[in-house]
Amino acid sequence: MQVSFPQTRYQGSKLKLLNWFHPIFRKIDFDTALDAFGGTGAVSYMLKIMGKEITYNDLLTSNWYIGKALIENNSKKLDPSKIESLFHRKNGYNYRTTIQDQFKGIYYTNAEDKLLDIVVQNISYLEDQYEKSLAFFVLFQACIQKRPFNLFHRKNLYLRLNNVKRSFGNKKTWDTPFLELMLRALKEGNQAIYDNSRVNKAINFAIQDVPIPDEGYDLVYLDPPYISLKGVGVDYRDYYHFLEGICDYDKWEDLIDRDSKHKRLKLIKNDWNDPKQILKAFEESISKFQDSKLVISYRDPGIPSIEALKNILFNYKEDVSLFIKDYKYALTSKEKKVKEVLIFADNP
């Protein structure tokens, strides 16, 4: 049976880099791995296909559901009829209208907001944990596809609705019904379900709180948020706050930052987004997992510098190797030249 990881429009996804990653990871001797900033799950999935026992971790609850659906889940698929049923009200349920009330005119049309309120609450009624995770996964995929820039970083529904000539985006996809987009995503999600005969799991912790089993992890892969030389960080919780709100639907209204036009979640301090604290965050994480082989994904140039990272690693590891590739991310400017870097650190 052929399996493949679903296409994704998440910012920072390493999916397109897996063909470069694979031969590098294949040369490393390890059996168990922690993907500490799991994100879309693309790297965890590659390691799963390689037969490794994977622990996928991500701080975002929405990403944790993706990890449950595609990494921890070895066999459960979701019938398309269950996706279709999510769009219909169930008798005896009192549906809330959080998205209609709080996000009118911000991300989706009024009709779409109404549908989303129903779909989100119906997903919460699914009893099987993997069916629920798959349903959230396909909903997230559809929500992102219908967004200009595939993000929730500003109030810009008008970019999708204005009848003007466009030089970016895909209006056909933006105007495709949620049900159709979710069914497409489900086909890809079901196709990705794979049993590698290992007990893989998805967890949901800040990296400093990730539990380390008694036997440890053979390898720890770190792909933290990136901070540019100008000190501008990537705050994934802010970019995908709408998906996080979906996951905490009952409490969503109380979590909204009312001073923001796009109704983001109230900000939470994160050292990985702070240019003054990120080096400390790296050092604490490297120290925490010093007994494991380490692979760090990084973009150069950035804060901290590659040299600063190497200096930290040499405090704990004797061998540090760099693998470098020219790479351009979708939302980076044409003039901006960055290199994708994999840093491998181990003791002989």
Per-residue pLDDT reduced to its tens digit, 240-256: 999 999 999 999 999 99
pLDDT at residue 331 greater than cutoff 90 = no
Of 26-40, 48-62, 332-346, minimum mean pLDDT range = 332-346
Q: How confident is the model at residue 169 (pLDDT cuts 50, 70, 90)?
A: low
- Please write the tens of the pLDDT for every residue from 266-315: 999 999 999 999 999 999 999 999 999 999 999 999 999 999 999 999 99
Query: With a threshold of 0.85, does the pTM exceed it?
Result: yes
Q: What pLDDT does residue 163 have?
A: 74
The three-state DSSP-derived secondary structure of the chain is: CCCCCCCCCCCCCCHHHHHHHHHHHHCCCCCEEEECCCCCCHHHHHHHHCCCEEEEECCCHHHHHHHHHHHHCCCCCCCHHHHHHCCCCCCCCCCCCHHHHHCCCCCCCHHHHHHHHHHHHHHHCCCCHHHHHHHHHHHHHHHHHCCHHHCCCCCCHHHHHCCCCCCCCCHHHHCCCHHHHHHHHHHHHHHHCCCCCCCCEEECCCHHHCCCCCCCCCEEEECCCCECCCCCECCHHHHCHHHHHHHCHHHHHHHECCCCCCCCECCCCCHHHCCCCHHHHHHHHHHHCCCCEEEEEEEECCCCCHHHHHHHHCCCCCEEEEEEEEECCCCCCCCCCEEEEEEEEECC
Q: How confident is the model at residue 168 (pLDDT cuts 50, 70, 90)?
A: low
- Please write the tens of the pLDDT for every residue from 74-98: 999 999 999 999 999 999 999 999 9
Q: How confident is the model at residue 335 (pLDDT cuts 50, 70, 90)?
A: very low
Q: How confident is the model at residue 170 (pLDDT cuts 50, 70, 90)?
A: confident
pLDDT at residue 1 greater than cutoff 50 = no
pLDDT over 70, % of the chain: 95
pLDDT at residue 202 greater than cutoff 90 = yes
